[in-house]
């Protein structure tokens, strides 16, 4: 049972990492504490629900949803950055906080108007249904797929940041944005691209999480708390730190259910407090 809970924590951590990696990009590169990141996650989940209902409950429908739903979230994210955040880029940070928090209320109301407030679900495709028997317990095969996808996303991000020109530019923007401007880089376009990439990751996480739990208005509130905790624990701007922190959070929540079910959701804050006291910049963050 403990092994099953560990695997469940890792699969949950994989989804959290995909979502938190997007927030790490926007927070680390753009210095925007995007409270609407959870809304982009919710957008991906609702978009996946609509696409599966339109294409059909099949493997093809699910694969179509995992491709198109993140793109819908990315387009929404690019529009938010281009039409709204860019207009207040030179103002103090609290303008960004108020704007992104306001967007969470607007997007939640729009989702309620379109889908209602009932809990919806996306069935798992037949190809990914079933489970793996482990010591008398069954671990869902789909959760194994989530672990693999999380590792693939982590590898892809590592390759982008380690071996591409775009990755180097983004890292340079984190360390010294003024030098990037002086080098002739179109920073506004870079900001839109990074924000859209973060939204794409949030939408992908929402689409992947849709078959695991229910979809409803308000699901954005829970994920944004976990994402900010992961960014703080791992270190702002560190993808590797976000991966480690997501695994820590996922395992903490999963194993916490065994130790104290009623306090399971509070254990993440205990980890967060310890990190803030011992290493305020995060596990792999810079002071």
CATH code: domain of residue 38: 1.10.3470
pLDDT in tens, 210-239: 999 889 999 999 899 999 999 999 988 889
pLDDT in tens, 147-157: 999 999 999 99
Residue 278: pLDDT over 80: yes
Would you mind telling me the total number of residues written for the chain in this entry? 287
- 176-200: average pLDDT: 86
Residue 285 is assigned to a structural domain of this protein: no
131-134/137-140 β-pairing: antiparallel
Count Cβ neighbours within 10 Å for each residue of 43-72 and write b for 16 or more, e otherwise: bbbbbbbbbbeeeeeeeebbebbbebbbbb
Residue 48: pLDDT over 90: yes
Taking alpha carbons only, the member of 209, 243, 240 closest to residue 223 is 209
Q: How far apart are alpha carbons 71 and 200 in whole angstroms?
A: 6
Quickly state the pLDDT bin for 130 (edges 50, 70, 90). Answer: confident
- Count of structural domains within the chain: 1
Answer with the residue of higher pLDDT: 175 or 206: 206
For residue 27, the model assigns a pLDDT of 84
Residue 239 is assigned to a structural domain of this protein: yes
Tokens at 148, concatenated: 């693999």
Quickly state the pLDDT bin for 131 (edges 50, 70, 90). Answer: confident
| pLDDT above 70 coverage of the chain, percent | 100
pLDDT in tens, 70-115: 999 999 999 999 999 999 888 888 899 999 999 999 999 999 999 9
Residue 223 is assigned to a structural domain of this protein: yes
Residue 78 is assigned to a structural domain of this protein: yes
For residue 181, the model assigns a pLDDT of 78
Range of the domain at 239: 2-278
- 160-172: average pLDDT: 86
Residue 284 is assigned to a structural domain of this protein: no
Residue 40: pLDDT over 80: yes
Strands (E), the chain: 131-134, 137-140
pLDDT in tens, 231-251: 999 988 889 999 999 999 999
For residue 285, the model assigns a pLDDT of 83
For residue 225, the model assigns a pLDDT of 93
* Whole-structure pTM value: 0.94
Please state, as a whole number, how many other Cβ atoms lie within 10 Å of the Cβ of residue 183: 11
For residue 65, the model assigns a pLDDT of 95
Residue 176 is assigned to a structural domain of this protein: yes
Residue 96 is assigned to a structural domain of this protein: yes
Q: What is the mean pLDDT of the chain?
A: 90
- 170-184: average pLDDT: 77
Residue 55 is assigned to a structural domain of this protein: yes
For residue 126, the model assigns a pLDDT of 81
Quickly state the pLDDT bin for 21 (edges 50, 70, 90). Answer: very high
Taking alpha carbons only, the member of 78, 81, 77 closest to residue 42 is 77
């Amino acid at each position: 049972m403990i092994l099953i809970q560990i695997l469940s924590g890792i699969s949950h951590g994989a989804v959290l990492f995909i979502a938190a990696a997007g927030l790490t990009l926007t927070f680390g590169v753009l210095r925007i504490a995007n409270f609407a990141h959870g809304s982009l996650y919710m957008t991906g989940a609702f978009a996946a629900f609509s696409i599966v209902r339109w294409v059909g409950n099949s493997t093809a429908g699910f694969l179509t949803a995992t491709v198109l739903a993140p793109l819908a979230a990315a387009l929404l994210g690019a529009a938010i950055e281009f039409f709204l955040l860019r207009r207040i880029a030179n103002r103090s940070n609290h303008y960004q906080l108020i704007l992104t928090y306001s967007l969470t209320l607007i997007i939640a109301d729009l989702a309620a108007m379109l889908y209602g407030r009932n809990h919806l679900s996306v069935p798992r495709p037949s190809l990914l249904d079933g489970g793996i028997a482990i010591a008398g317990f069954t671990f869902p095969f789909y959760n194994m797929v989530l672990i693999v996808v999380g590792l693939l996303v982590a590898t892809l991000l590592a390759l982008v940041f380690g071996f591409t020109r775009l990755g180097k530019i983004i890292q340079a923007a984190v360390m010294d944005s003024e030098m990037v401007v002086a080098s002739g880089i179109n920073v506004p376009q870079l900001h839109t691209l990074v924000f859209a990439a973060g939204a794409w990751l949030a939408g992908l996480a929402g689409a992947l999480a849709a078959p695991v739990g229910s979809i409803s208005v308000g699901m954005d509130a829970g994920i944004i708390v976990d994402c900010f905790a992961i960014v703080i624990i791992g270190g702002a701007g560190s993808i590797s730190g976000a991966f480690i922190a997501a695994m820590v959070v996922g395992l903490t929540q999963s194993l916490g259910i065994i130790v104290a079910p009623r306090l399971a959701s509070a254990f993440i804050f205990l980890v967060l407090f310890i990190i803030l006291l011992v290493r305020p910049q995060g596990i792999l963050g810079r002071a």
